[in-house]
Amino acid sequence: MIWHIFRKDLKLLWRMVIGVALINLMHRAIQSGAGIFRNASVTPAVLLSGMLGTISLLVTGVLIVMVVQQDPIPGFTQDWLVRPISRRDLLLGKVLFVALMAQGPIFLIEVGQCLAAGFPLGPSLAAPLSRSVWMFLAMDLPVLAFATLTRSLAQAVGAAIAIVMGFAIFTQATILYTNSLFNRLWVTDAAQVAWGLAGVATVLAIQYYRRKTTGARWVYGAAALVWLFVQFLPWQPAFAIEKRLSPQPLAADAVQIAFDPAFGRFHRPAGQPAPVRFRASRVEDDVDLWAPVRVNGVSEGQLLTNDGALERLIDPSGTMIDLGRSGTPIPWHVRSPFHYLIFIPKDIYNRLEDRPVGLEIDHSLTLLQANPAQAIPAAGGDRWIEDVGRCATRISAGGGQVELGCLTPGNPPCVTLSLEYNGTVQGAVQESGCGSDYAPYFGRVIGDSISRFARELPFAGSELKDAQVVFTPYHPEARFTRQVVISNIRLSDWRPE
Amino acid sequence: MDQARETVGGKSKMIRADNLWKKFGRHDALRGLSFSVPEGSAYALIGANGAGKTTAIRILMNILEAEGGSAEVLGVDSRRISPRELAQIGYVSENQDIPKALTVAEYLDYLRPFYPRWDKSLEATVMRELRLPRERRIGDLSHGMRMKVALACALPFRPKLLVLDEPLSGLDSLVRDEFMAGLVRQLEDTTVLISSHELSEIEGVATHVGFIEAGRLLFEESMTGLIDRFREVHVTLDREAAPPGLVPEEWLNIRAVGNVVSFVDSRFSEDRLGAGIESLNGSVRNVDARPMSLRAIFTALALAERDAAESKRG
């Protein structure tokens, strides 16, 4: 009877289904209409697209609430209560409707969008499928469970506003802490979704099999509160899980990181401002220290990203001072020694600057391996590049640089880019998408199934006929940790000159 | 299931409620309500507004959960009623939320597959008799028409048990007649539990009556037994009548106007009445004992309950 219930709901809600699909279609059409070359300017189309993105989420939520409320759970007057309708069938009928009529059209629209973007069929199906499954689990089912707690659309809207306000207050209250999270791990996101699903399953079981709305509301509220706190899952265990899931965990065995005082102090170029750290939108009162570091064991064709670091200072009495977590998930240029930036709160620095202290840094790292490099002409190039996406090039209006735009189905790839002429690299090698999370799925809530990136590659010469843009995509092989222990140093020695 | 059903006097009980308790906040909606509906009967659950009729029916249908006591419907604990039992129960309630956006035909199309015993020809007959427009949206129908739709959806599967919760409330007399006629024509072997204020309408249908007051059952008995034992009695004396002092406890609502003493005899027999009348002061010129309608009986009982409650408080 699941299908039968589904068809009844469709008969009642088909106009809403079409409306939601049209809003999603408009949103994706505007996104696609922006083309492969993107600029940073805010056009009316960009504004409209952003607005439609939010609206499409809202109307999808409304559709889910409406389908559940065709046969509401709270109350005593619903017709379905006195009909020989299996509660399991009723629940599965609603779940089927949400999967096919709320998420289904979005999936089809995004498949069409990917095919229109010039992607092959496989990636055109895979990315929207992954996103739709993620959306279904992370958003649709929690909304469905929420809808079972409400009797009317007005009640649902009121409760949703209360939840959003509660979420905003919580975020504001915890911003000091969340700002110190330097990078989110996909394991943390997945743990949040898994916890959310456990809460959803409990609420749906209570509502469809026991109809205890008051109890179910408490369960939903408690689950939502814990869900908020799951984002504060400690870094180490979360990273440890990702480490265990590495495709080639032994690949990083040879990698070593060591303090290299022989490399000397960091020389800040004239006019370059000191870096600052933000917390709760305020600049922290820090001192920047630059520790010379050498990395060994990263071979040609490999890339090393520092995903984050836990830093501690040991004062002369042996007391450990936690400096917190820091680090920006960016690739390290490890062919030669480099300076690693550490922020020290000014009061601690002033107290210890000329005294012998120790420094311990626990690095969380990812070793990436290059895939074969591929190239497209620097002018008028446009093709599908394996492991990167569809990329196109053109000469900028001013003529001084090559504009590059890429569309990728799913997560943005880690790729290095260089402009080469007669086998010689012109300008600097650029990176894109490296150091981002390495989730084995594509789980973006806002936007669509396509990742976009654009670069401008300066070109010094005038002959572009034989120039090429060379792409080297990388895939993660091992996630691992290394500890750097620096004893008996003076902090003032490592301030920039 | 049928074998498990309680049997009394050769007839099994389609419904058995035993000491049901239910609170809403501080208000006791049910206070140890017990009653039973014999198979094949048409049981009228009557009582004033707020007496607990709808609450009792909702507990029987597993829409509400009782805080105490138990109930069985078709031999099954009401808390465990499954689609198997619901496929044999027709339910019509004045508060029933039928999908308003569907047409009558679409709603019937939706319900049909859930009932293995759905009879399409009976459906057509009921629709014709109730004069229901198949293509009209349910939301566009009047309340009365919607109640007829609910009835039309409760009959075609030939339910073993038909539960009607105030089905006649808010219906005009024409629609009420159509509803009751449609109901009576299709009853056959169906057991009916009906709660209603429209006592004159259900009088011709009910075979048993349960009287519920403030969440408790005051009595239940067969309709014939009830009609036989209640009489509206007018005793004409040869002089001005005064309200009598000690009277039989089965006399209710006693009043004296002029030389006539009137009361309701709730355990009528000619001998007992004669003995009771002798206790009145004055010689009796005439005694008129008339059978009462269900409405009149209900009114008499309700007034007696109210008076008893007031004298207890006073």
B256 and B156 part of one domain: no
B174 and B241 part of one domain: no
Q: What local confidence, expressed as pLDDT, does residue A426 receive?
A: 81
B38 and B166 part of one domain: yes
Nearest chain B residue to A4 by CA distance is: B110
Q: Please, what sign has the CA dihedral across residues A485, A489, A491, A497?
A: negative
**Strands, sheet with A450-458, edge to edge from the N-terminal-most edge strand:** A382-385, A389-395, A401-409, A450-458
Nearest chain A residue to B82 by CA distance is: A84
* A positions 21-80 inside 8 Å of B (CB): 70, 75-79
DSSP alpha helix (H) spans, A179-277:
186-205, 213-230, 235-244
A279 — pLDDT class (breaks 50, 70, 90): low
In whole angstroms, give the CA distance from residue A23 to residue A53.
9
Residue A263 scores a pLDDT above 70: yes
**Which residue from B58, B62, B115 is facing A84, i.e. has the nearest CB?**
B115
Contact residues on chain B for A11, CB-CB shorter than 8 A: 102, 106
Contact residues on chain B for A84, CB-CB shorter than 8 A: 83-87, 114-115
B128 and B200 part of one domain: yes
In whole angstroms, give the CA distance from residue B150 to residue B166.
12
B68 and B165 part of one domain: yes
The CATH number linked to B123 is 3.40.50.300
Distance from CA of B137 to the nearest CA of A (A): 11
Q: pLDDT digit string (tens) for A27-86? A: 999 888 888 887 656 677 778 888 898 999 999 999 999 999 999 999 999 999 999 999
Considering B182, B197, B223, which residue would you say is the last residue of a domain?
A: B223
Asked whether the whole model's pTM tops 0.80, one would answer yes
Q: Which domains does chain A have, with CATH numbers?
A: 2-233 (no CATH), 250-365+479-494 (2.60.40), 374-476 (2.60.40)
Distance from CA of B113 to the nearest CA of A (A): 8
Q: What local confidence, expressed as pLDDT, does residue A73 receive?
A: 94
Residue in A77, A82, A211 to test binding to B, most B beta-carbons within 10 Å: A82
Contact residues on chain A for B29, CB-CB shorter than 8 A: none
- Tell me the two tokens of residue A490: 């003076």
Q: pLDDT digit string (tens) for A189-217? A: 899 999 999 999 999 999 999 999 999 99
Domain-located, residue B192: yes
Q: What DSSP designation does A102 have?
A: I
Q: pLDDT digit string (tens) for A314-338? A: 999 999 998 877 766 677 877 788 9
B261 and B161 part of one domain: no
Amino acid A244 reads: R
Domains in chain B: how many in total? 2
B141 and B198 part of one domain: yes
Non-local (6+) Cβ contacts of A82 within 8 A are B61, B63, B86, B89, B91, B96
**Which residue from A76, A84, A86 is facing B64, i.e. has the nearest CB?**
A76
- Tell me the two tokens of residue B266: 């709730």
B273 and B158 part of one domain: no
B245 and B138 part of one domain: no
In whole angstroms, give the CA distance from residue B222 to residue B202.
13
DSSP alpha helix (H) spans, B70-192:
83-86, 104-111, 120-130, 143-154, 173-186
Residue found by looking up tokens 């107290």 in the block: A351
Domain-located, residue B313: no
Q: What local confidence, expressed as pLDDT, does residue B8 receive?
A: 47
Residue in A6, A83, A151 to test binding to B, most B beta-carbons within 10 Å: A83
Structural domain span for residue B245: 231-291
In whole angstroms, give the CA distance from residue A442 to residue A433.
14
> Taking chain A, what is the end-to-end CA distance rounded to the nearest angstrom?
76
